[in-house]
Amino acid sequence: MTAVEWLERLTALRAASGHEEVVFDELRRLLAPSFDRSETDAAGNLLLWRDGPPGAPRLLFTAHADQVALWLSKHLPGGFARFAAPAIDPVCLPALEVEAKGRHGVVGMLPPHLRQSGVEVKEGEKDLYIDFGPAQDLPAVGEPVYFATVPRLLGEDRFCAAGLDDRASVAAIALALEELQGEDLPVTVLAAFTVQEETGRSGAAYLCRETQPDAAVVLDVTFGQQPEVAEPDLPLLGQGAAVGIGPNVPPGLHRWLESTAAAEGIACQREPLPGDSGTDGWRLQVAGLGVPTALLSIPLTSMHSPQEVVSIRDVASCGHLLAALARSPLSWDHAGKGGTAWI
């Protein structure tokens, strides 16, 4: 499938933290010809294996499958409900159409006509509610509530949808597995799709306990340049994925990513990461016995909003770069067991 087709398929699914199985079912079905075996670990992560020669090094590609959501917290009389909105700016919520367990609703707010004259009101989530309409069968407290927005193209190279954090990265890994289908590889590729990144990165913390990869490339989205952003050096949409550089990434690993991209003519950018990247990569580095970990990020605007935006070209090139890494002899020429040679 093309990058657009993968983005359309994956963002049509709704999977908040703890509810990722619907994404896993679709990946198992659509990628069946592209992996040799699959399993689900004790944390709930989906693992798809592409077996290499006996004793081949293990290369891990991973992205999280969950997305941000609202969570029902209290029923109110008349078909209304309160909600929590972790990691979501309430400014984007009023009048938004939402959906929970097949029930559609709309986020309501106090009309300006009813506000006290001269008093500025800044609504937070405690001031908002969902109107499901009068009914006896409201979704239960604790259920996730999803943005009921429609994915769409913006021009020729932008894709807009809820949940692109991190379905854009899931799509890139899927593209890589499809590109590698039928090839003999010098490594065993493990494509892992983690759970609960948005609520504490617990899936990544468990991931390498038994799989013990020799190196990992974590994929996620990152803040892309957009108007009114005070940081002028953020990655640009359409200029390729961003290679993370910082204390979380051994220098040899980011050199490997950049040199492979250069050899293949694949555009990429650099993203300085002086501390916690806010991704699974921070947890993965110290998971299990420790894993040399690189971070590859797809620039995105309007993060954690009802309509996030990515470059289709960035997603496609990211998938191509992953496939090139799996083929590249650079990946293991100087890597010792335990990863110390990546320094």
Per-residue pLDDT of the chain (343 residues; tens, 9 = 90+): 999 999 999 999 999 999 999 999 999 999 999 999 999 999 999 999 999 999 899 999 999 999 999 999 999 999 999 999 999 999 899 999 999 999 999 999 877 766 665 555 555 667 899 999 987 789 999 999 999 999 999 999 999 999 999 999 999 999 999 999 999 999 999 999 999 888 878 888 888 887 889 999 999 999 999 887 767 789 999 999 999 999 888 999 989 999 999 999 999 999 998 877 778 778 778 777 788 999 999 999 999 999 999 999 999 999 999 999 999 865 454 454 444 455 5
Is the sign of the CA dihedral 157, 159, 164, 165 positive or negative? Answer: positive
- Residues comprising the chain, all counted: 343
SS (H, E, C) the chain: CCHHHHHHHHHCCCCECCCCHHHHHHHHHHCHHHCCEEEECCCCCEEEEECCCCCCCEEEEEEECCECCEEEEEEECCCEEEEECCCCCHHHCCCCEEEECCEEEEEECCCHHHCCCCCCCCCCHHHCEEECCCCCCCCCCCCEEEECCCCEEECCCEEEECCHHHHHHHHHHHHHHHHHCCCCCCCEEEEEEECCHHHCCHHHHHHHHHHCCCEEEEEEEEECCCCCCCCCCCCCCCCCEEEEECCCCCHHHHHHHHHHHHHHCCCEEEEECCCCCCCHHHHHCCCCCCCCEEEEEEEEECCCCCCEEEEHHHHHHHHHHHHHHHHCHHHCCCCCCCCHHHC
Give CA separation, 1 vs 27, 113, 152, 176, 218, in Å: 12, 51, 17, 11, 22
Stated pTM of the model = 0.92
Give the number of other CB atoms < 10 A from CB of residue 177. 23
Per-domain residue ranges of the chain: 3-68+163-342, 70-147
User: For residue 334, what pLDDT is reported?
Assistant: 46
What gap in Å lies between CA 53 and CA 186, rounded to an integer?
A: 7
Distance (Å, whole) CA 341 – CA 135 = 63
Q: Which two tokens stand for residue 144?
A: 């996730």
CA dist., res. 298 & res. 268, Å (int): 10
215-223 and 293-301 beta bridge pairing = parallel
In whole angstroms, what is the distance from residue 334 CA to residue 332 CA? 5
Residue 222's DSSP bridge partners are 299
Residue with tokens 């109107």: 131
CATH domain 70-147 topology: Elongation Factor Tu (Ef-tu); domain 3 (2.40.30)
Backbone angles phi, psi at 320, to 5 degrees: -65, -40
pLDDT of residue 120: 58
For position 93, what pLDDT does the model report? 94
Q: Looking at residue 10, what is its pLDDT?
A: 98
Contact 236, 269 (CB under 8 A): yes
What residues contact 136, with CB distance under 8 A and at least 6 apart?
none
Q: Does domain 3-68+163-342 have CATH number 3.40.50.720?
A: no
Q: Which pLDDT value is given to residue 330? A: 53
Token pair listed for 305: 């909003």
Residue 227 buriedness (CB in 10 A; 0-12 / 13-18 / 19+): exposed
pLDDT number for residue 211: 85
